[in-house]
Amino acid sequence: MAVLPIVKLGDPVLRKKARQVSPEELASPEMQGFIDDLIETMHAANGAGLAAPQVGRSVAIAAVHVEDNPRYPYKPKVPLTVFVNPTLTPLSEDAALLYEGCLSVPDLRGRVPRHMHVRVQALDRHGAPLDFEVKGLTAGTYQHEFDHLEGLVFVDRVQDPSTFSTWANFDRFHKAAFVEEARALVNRYGS
Ligand code: NI
């Protein structure tokens, strides 16, 4: 296993729609080794998620995993999940403005509208079908990673550019209020 370099905003790979992965390719030792590396890289960087284009590979594979995360202390836990060739379907009109950040966008956060209830259909890393619903902040995390596979970055979805903030200034000026909002969402949606 290896920690891979994370590509940053401006790299064209982040702007490409990632290609689907066939079951045969997914099962290959090479691709399984790549998925191990993607997970190790996400953990090494304290990411809540990481998508393959962020390590320079334009395939529709992403991972999410939230435990006690120093980058996002208010996020509820999410078990390690690898999802391949996903589709996301909003299941309600509910949305919230979440502060997001991204390992490919150093030292910037901003507020992004996200659906609060989505259905995720995908393959797991072994090619078995996944079909589940996620809510609240966790739904936001999935939408962020799904966007990477579509060639989108969270900055594209920021509707009010005045919400852009460095991480230090987020902590200083915005974190306390947002943690309260996040807590209310977790209470409402259970995640
Ligand atoms: Ni990201």
In a domain? residue 173: yes
pLDDT for the residue numbered 1: 84
In a domain? residue 102: yes
Any idea which residues carry the catalytic annotation? 145
In a domain? residue 143: yes
* Res. 183: pLDDT tops 90: yes
Farthest-apart Cα atoms in the chain, separation: 49
Query: 170 alpha carbon to ligand 1 midpoint, in Å?
Result: 17
**CA–CA distance, 136 with 138 (Å, rounded to integer):** 5
In angstroms, the first-to-last Cα distance of the chain is 31
Element (H, E) at 74: none
3-state secondary structure 94-118: CEEEEEEEECCEEEEEEEEEEECEE
Query: 146 alpha carbon to ligand 1 midpoint, in Å?
Result: 9
Query: 147 alpha carbon to ligand 1 midpoint, in Å?
Result: 8
Q: How many domains does the chain have?
A: 1
In a domain? residue 47: yes
Query: 22 alpha carbon to ligand 1 midpoint, in Å?
Result: 24
* Res. 131: pLDDT tops 90: yes
* Res. 75: pLDDT tops 90: no
- Burial 91-128, CB ≥16 within 10 A → b, else e: eeebebbbbbbbbbbeebbbbbebbbbbebebbebeee
In a domain? residue 6: no
Q: Which domain holds residue 26?
A: 12-189
pTM over 0.95: yes
Q: What is the CATH number of the domain that holds 59?
A: 3.90.45.10
